Structure 1
Amino acid sequence: MHLIWLRTDLRLHDNTALAAASQRGPLAAVYLITPEQWLAHDDAACKVDFWLRNLQCLSQALGTLNIPLLIRTAPTWDQAPAVLSTLCQELSVESVHINEEYGIHESRRDQAVAQALEACGVTFHRYLDQLFFQPGSVLTKTGTYFQVFSQFRKVCYSRLHSALPRLVATPKAQQKLPFASDPIPHSVPGFETPSDSLRALWPAGEDEARRRLDTFADQQIGYYKDERDYPAKPGTSQLSAYLAAGVVSPRQCLHTALQSNSGEFETGNVGAVTWINELLWREFYKHILVGYPRVSRHRAFRPATEAVAWRHAPEDLAAWQEARTGLPIIDAAMRQLLETGWMHNRLRMVVAMFLTKNLLIDWREGERFFMRHLIDGDLAANNGGWQWSSSTGTDSAPYFRIFSPLSQSEKFDSEGVFIKRWLPQLAALNKKDVHNPEAAGGLFGVADYPRSIVDLKKSRERALAAFRSLPSRQAVAEHE
């Protein structure tokens, strides 16, 4: 008897550990419900609900192959070794198979489980699945992890040209086992069930993920480079939640993109090339988790920036969180996040830069808030994005590059379509005034809409001064 322990790989197709385990003989699957761990990691209620709904779909799919899906509870990952050891003894399991995960806590959890199982005579097998390349295999000439994406991407391209990761075969049906799948819970204590309207935006299951991928490749990928920055347009794939939960694999995405571009990585359809770059950004940030584990510990990637004098400004933070900053593009983006569990990628950068530069509030506050609300919340991508925007991270924007919310709004939502959708109280404003109602509304601004909580010009100067006063990188490196 063999066991696959499912985590963020909730799919039947192109699942490396599942395919390998099924070759060995009778197979069952297990998923651990770990509510206290999820709370500690700020996992969003809508994301937990999305996992549970995808587990229901996966249980049915596995059922057609006579592979039962068992559910066990371990409040935190500290209990995982004992829970899995007990299950292995109950079922006389010979081997457990996993697809690797990359945060520092995930690595420690898997190491602890491996040791506990091996002490019981159960072998533990790990597989590369959610990445194209094993972390540690894409290094600089001096043998260190890349810190700059463009250099990392160049090496990845040369590797992909010579060895494209293959899709993995789907397991075949097996003989029925003498026990059945467990029911999948509809909710988990500590996590509210999201609204029906939010759930309807994110149907569960591999069929839906595949439909989105195929539709994007057939109809939109060609326009991706030109339209991905415009939040009112359907220019993105809407696959991030499915990738984060492993309902679709990066390999499936890569093969589909290449198919739409005659097998080309760097020429041909510029939209397809741009989208493949986004897959590699995702890869890059996961390699960073392994190469620089301090980012898993709420530390800045650039140690010098730990000295930034962030403001303790709870009222400003609350205004940002509650979409009442008085800057329409910021508030509309935050309203989109609160109501849908997702935010357009361009706007993630805009609101992050506003929080960390204009409000000079610690990026960790924003990172945490995003994780608590994003259906596609992923430690590596979320941390990487926040640190990039706040100039504390890899390949970071120079600290003096500070997006103006007004110019971003005018450039990427010029007609105000996105703003008016999420802030209906501004619907009557013309396309010039909608970006800055305070300037349009005379002494009292626009009814039902707050005045801006910050002077953009003065706050920009304040941020520049805070970053200019940092100790030099060399001095910090010597100190470390």
Structure 2
Amino acid sequence: MRQLIWLRSDLRVHDNRALHAALAAGPTLAVYLITPGQWCAHDDAPCKIDFWLRNLTELRLQLNALNVPLLIRQAERWDAAPAVLAELCQTHGIGCVQVNDEYGLNEAARDQAVADRLAAQGVGFRRHLDQLLFAPGSLLTRSGGYFKVFSQFRKVAHARLHDALPDCLPRPQPQAPLAVEGDSLPDSVAGFARPNETLRQLWLAGEGHALDRLQRFVDEHLADYDRCRDLPALPGTSQLSPYLAAGVLSPRQCLHAALRANQGEFASGQPGAVAWINELLWREFYKHVLVGFPRVSRHRAFRPETEALPWRDAPGELAAWQAGRTGFPLIDAAMRQLAATGWMHNRLRMLVAMFLSKNLLIDWRAGERFFMGQLIDGDLAANNGGWQWSASTGTDAVPYFRLFNPISQSRRFDPYGRFIRHWLPELAHLDNRAIHEPAALGGLFGAPNYPRPLVDLSASRARALAAFRDLPSRETDHE
């Protein structure tokens, strides 16, 4: 019985659950759907689409070596997927479509519609757990609900991993050649401009590059991760998020690499390894939240009472934030890093999100959407979870009265101004003290071409605290 693996966010041959299952069940073909209308609806960044297409090109070579032809089909939006896949199954005599699960309301509705359409013509539809360590719904509180607090989720996850560590599947063996020709891949998709070559070279495509980057991080930076991860001028983070978002790496591969370096320990041993494994579990946690609390897929706050916050309509301030022209150097350097690379250091993601949602009191959803339109690692669960955490509207969020001060954060995490000087060359001449607050020098002696601060930090903090205090009620359930 012929099998079809429908590739989505799983662009690899190693440790690919659906690919292994398909090849074990019968002669296998692969398909990828080009869905530009859906990508637009989800605000996917042009650099992300380019990265995925480049990884598809590399994946095609790997599939060719396995004698698995890769077919490319067009479906403007996901509502066209059932008809496209049904026609493909009929043409090639497919008995079962194998997929790795994706999460979110739209993804679930799409897969159910495809499964129903295929069932009507006698074709199976089999789902696999792949982009997570644990299936959503398998880690629950004692009362049977999804976790809302990360530390409790992590405790149960650690216990489960000690009981049964998920294995990594090897590269499958080639199948006998099929008399089916694969399709050529587009270099680009209309509506998604190709990024410049400098950005593309930052994020080389293919499993080989992803695995090399993982190993270099483990060998050179994992031990110091807990000390260096908050310093944006240093290469202290893995920068593997684009590869995880596209499924070029699996979370199991990352976990096993960390455990090999830490003698198999999750919560003890190297502090750097423990901290990085926690970040993998944060990624896992937000995916579970996406399934357990569907309202976050509907652009709703996790904490319903925060929907009453009096968000400001300030398009000029939003535009200044987007352009990296707020007058706060670390904020602006971070936004320019995002524009140039499609990626932003994690601590800076929290800082710029908190500045927008609290100091400017602009709806976090405006920032969430802007980030998705820029990020090469754009992922609904991680992006939404991070924004709602920073805005104090989400699960296990930072307390509403906590605001990162961008000047003190700058002095603490970029003390010599190296990150700022790299992205804001107009401030490079300032000394290590002045570079964090050029406005204190005055325009004539400081940086006349750099904008004045967009807001007064003390006044904007007071405004944000008053907005939260005036909410009719605050959720106290922390199950």
TM normalised by structure 1 equals 0.98
Describe the shift of the 1:49–1:226 C-alpha distance in structure 2 as closer, same or farther (beyond 3 A). Answer: same
The aligned runs of 1:145-160 (5 Å cut-off) are 145-160=146-161
Residue 223 of structure 2 aligns with which residue?
222
Unaligned runs of 5+ in 2: none
Give the deviation of 1:65 after TM superposition. Answer: 1.0
One-letter identity of the residue aligned with 1:342: W
Give the deviation of 1:444 after TM superposition. Answer: 7.5
Residue 63 of structure 2 aligns with which residue?
62
Give the deviation of 1:179 after TM superposition. Answer: 1.5
Residue 134 of structure 1 aligns with which residue?
135
Residue 374 of structure 2 aligns with which residue?
373
The aligned runs of 1:367-406 (5 Å cut-off) are 367-406=368-407
Corresponding residue SS for 1:325: coil
Are the counterparts in 1 of residues 430 and 446 from structure 2 also a CA contact under 8 Å?
no
Residue 432 of structure 1 aligns with which residue?
433
**2:234, 2:24 → 1: CA distance?**
45
Corresponding residue SS for 1:23: helix
Residue 162 of structure 1 aligns with which residue?
163
One-letter identity of the residue aligned with 1:454: V
Over aligned residue pairs, what C-alpha RMSD do you find?
1.2
Does 2:107 correspond to 1:106?
yes
Give the deviation of 1:473 after TM superposition. Answer: 3.2
Residue 349 of structure 1 aligns with which residue?
350
Residue 241 of structure 1 aligns with which residue?
242
**1:5, 1:50 → 2: CA distance?**
19
Give the deviation of 1:441 after TM superposition. Answer: 2.9
**1:343, 1:23 → 2: CA distance?**
40
Does 2:409 correspond to 1:408?
yes
Corresponding residue SS for 2:136: coil
The aligned runs of 1:321-332 (5 Å cut-off) are 321-332=322-333
Residue 8 of structure 1 aligns with which residue?
9
Give the deviation of 1:320 after TM superposition. Answer: 0.2
**1:364, 1:472 → 2: CA distance?**
21
Give the deviation of 1:453 after TM superposition. Answer: 1.0
Q: Map Cα deviations across residues 341-378 of structure 1 (whole Å, 9 max, x no partner).
A: 00000000000000001000000000000000000000
Corresponding residue SS for 2:25: coil
Q: Map Cα deviations across residues 73-113 of structure 1 (whole Å, 9 max, x no partner).
A: 00000000000000000000000000000111000000000
**2:445, 2:398 → 1: CA distance?**
36
One-letter identity of the residue aligned with 2:149: V
Are the counterparts in 1 of residues 54 and 205 from structure 2 also a CA contact under 8 Å?
yes
**1:445, 1:114 → 2: CA distance?**
63
Residue 363 of structure 2 aligns with which residue?
362
Give the deviation of 1:474 after TM superposition. Answer: 6.0
One-letter identity of the residue aligned with 1:174: Q
Residue 274 of structure 2 aligns with which residue?
273
Residue 464 of structure 1 aligns with which residue?
465
One-letter identity of the residue aligned with 2:208: D
Residue 186 of structure 1 aligns with which residue?
187
Does 2:202 correspond to 1:201?
yes
One-letter identity of the residue aligned with 2:27: P
One-letter identity of the residue aligned with 1:435: H
Q: Map Cα deviations across residues 124-167 of structure 1 (whole Å, 9 max, x no partner).
A: 00000111111001010000000000000000000000100011
Residue 37 of structure 1 aligns with which residue?
38
Describe the shift of the 1:231–1:475 C-alpha distance in structure 2 as closer, same or farther (beyond 3 A). Answer: closer
Q: Map Cα deviations across residues 27-83 of structure 1 (whole Å, 9 max, x no partner).
A: 010000000000000000000000000000000000011100000000000000000
How many residue pairs get aligned? The number is: 477
Q: Map Cα deviations across residues 234-280 of structure 1 (whole Å, 9 max, x no partner).
A: 00011000000000000000000000001111111110010000000
Corresponding residue SS for 2:247: coil
Are the counterparts in 1 of residues 303 and 475 from structure 2 also a CA contact under 8 Å?
no
One-letter identity of the residue aligned with 2:239: Q
Residue 83 of structure 2 aligns with which residue?
82
Are the counterparts in 2 of residues 445 and 451 from structure 1 also a CA contact under 8 Å?
no
Residue 286 of structure 1 aligns with which residue?
287
One-letter identity of the residue aligned with 1:195: N
Corresponding residue SS for 1:125: strand
Corresponding residue SS for 1:320: helix
Describe the shift of the 1:336–1:15 C-alpha distance in structure 2 as closer, same or farther (beyond 3 A). Answer: same
**2:349, 2:280 → 1: CA distance?**
17
Corresponding residue SS for 1:465: helix
Q: Map Cα deviations across residues 174-195 of structure 1 (whole Å, 9 max, x no partner).
A: 1111121111110001100001
Residue 424 of structure 2 aligns with which residue?
423
Unaligned runs of 5+ in 1: none
Residue 314 of structure 2 aligns with which residue?
313
**1:72, 1:413 → 2: CA distance?**
47
**1:266, 1:396 → 2: CA distance?**
23
Give the deviation of 1:442 after TM superposition. Answer: 5.0
Describe the shift of the 1:248–1:352 C-alpha distance in structure 2 as closer, same or farther (beyond 3 A). Answer: same
Corresponding residue SS for 1:415: coil
Does 2:456 correspond to 1:455?
yes
One-letter identity of the residue aligned with 2:173: K
**1:25, 1:475 → 2: CA distance?**
52
The aligned runs of 1:257-268 (5 Å cut-off) are 257-268=258-269
**1:116, 1:169 → 2: CA distance?**
33
**2:441, 2:61 → 1: CA distance?**
56
Are the counterparts in 2 of residues 19 and 169 from structure 1 also a CA contact under 8 Å?
no
Corresponding residue SS for 1:71: strand
Give the deviation of 1:445 after TM superposition. Answer: 4.8
**1:49, 1:317 → 2: CA distance?**
27
One-letter identity of the residue aligned with 1:41: H
**2:170, 2:203 → 1: CA distance?**
27
Once the two structures are aligned, what percentage of the paired residues are identical? 65
Give the deviation of 1:448 after TM superposition. Answer: 1.3
Q: Map Cα deviations across residues 208-250 of structure 1 (whole Å, 9 max, x no partner).
A: 0000000011111000000000000000011000000000000
**1:169, 1:123 → 2: CA distance?**
25
**1:87, 1:175 → 2: CA distance?**
21
**1:369, 1:279 → 2: CA distance?**
24
**Aligned structure 1 segments of 4 or more residues deviating by more than 4 angstroms:** 442-445
**1:367, 1:37 → 2: CA distance?**
17
**2:464, 2:50 → 1: CA distance?**
38
